[in-house]
Amino acid sequence: MLDFKVDTEKCIQCNQCVTDCPASIIRFEGEYPTIAPSREERCLRCLHCLAICPTAAISMLNVEPEDCVQIKGNLPSEKQLETLMRGRRSVRRFKQENVEKALIDRLINLAANAPTAKNAMPLQFTVVDDIKVMQKISDHAYGHIATAVREHRVPKELAHFNAFDKVHAGGGDIVFRKAPHMLVVSSPTAGSSPMVDIAIALTHFDLAATNAGLGSLWCGFALQAFMHFVPDYKELLGIPEDHHAAYVLMFGKSSVRYTRTVDRKFQKIHHVTL
């Protein structure tokens, strides 16, 4: 049940919800917009109708307009947004302490608002919010890496893990960078664009974490370690067995502070002219 409701005292019959519905399932039947039961299964659950209503007359899926934030007057300035996007950096030096769980939950909820193909929302956000748990995961992964190195089972294309094992034996950590926390976003591969959905969600989290004063790192080495050396990583982390698409982001309180943005002007921009 969509529980689509219209407050008839607030509705001004502006037709905005009807014209903006991507699935074209909202129609005027009588004086006010409605969704017929036969059309409910086509709903994308995008809530465009609730978001666009100028008089806050629509509620749906147990979401009430008064529980939502007004966009006007609450957006960052262009300069603030540019500074955030240009100032975000990969962090590889973390304080050895936990981030408050309430903050982690808030950041994940923000990331969960990221768009997904067809608004299918197939993602799982798997978070390690305790540094002690993260250490156990790291020890487990490095144990498997060490065994693979000892038994000469490291593939040629992953030969860098031979060096990583030596660094770890000396107290270093190139794979996880001694980050206190980890976020794995995963998805079934049956969806329309699983890796794109994952990347968008992690980008939302990454920028939100930076804005909250945390450091983060998109960690391909951790993903390689799990997928190639830790056969039980899904069971270890609680990732669904049918989730074959995933990426890893390490995060925590940064022990380094960057003081300025760096404008990257060396990537190619091509303007199409016909």
pLDDT of 9 reads 96
Percent of the chain with pLDDT strictly greater than 70: 100
Q: Of the given ranges (38-47, 70-79, 158-167, 261-270), which has the lowest mean pLDDT? A: 261-270
From CA 58, how far away is CA 52, in angstroms rounded? 9
pLDDT tens, 188-243? 998 899 999 999 999 999 999 999 999 999 999 999 999 999 999 999 999 999 99
Is 5-67 CATH 3.40.50.10310?
A: no
pLDDT tens, 108-146? 999 999 999 999 999 999 999 999 999 999 999 999 999
Q: Specify whether the CB–CB gap between 185 and 202 falls below 8 A.
A: yes
Per domain, the residue ranges of the chain are 5-67, 79-253
pLDDT of 12 reads 97
The mean predicted confidence, pLDDT, of the chain is 96
Q: What's the one-letter identity of residue 243?
A: H
Cα 251 → chain centroid: 13
Domains 5-67 and 79-253 agree in fold: no
- pTM listed for this prediction: 0.93
* Domain 79-253 fold: NADH Oxidase (3.40.109)
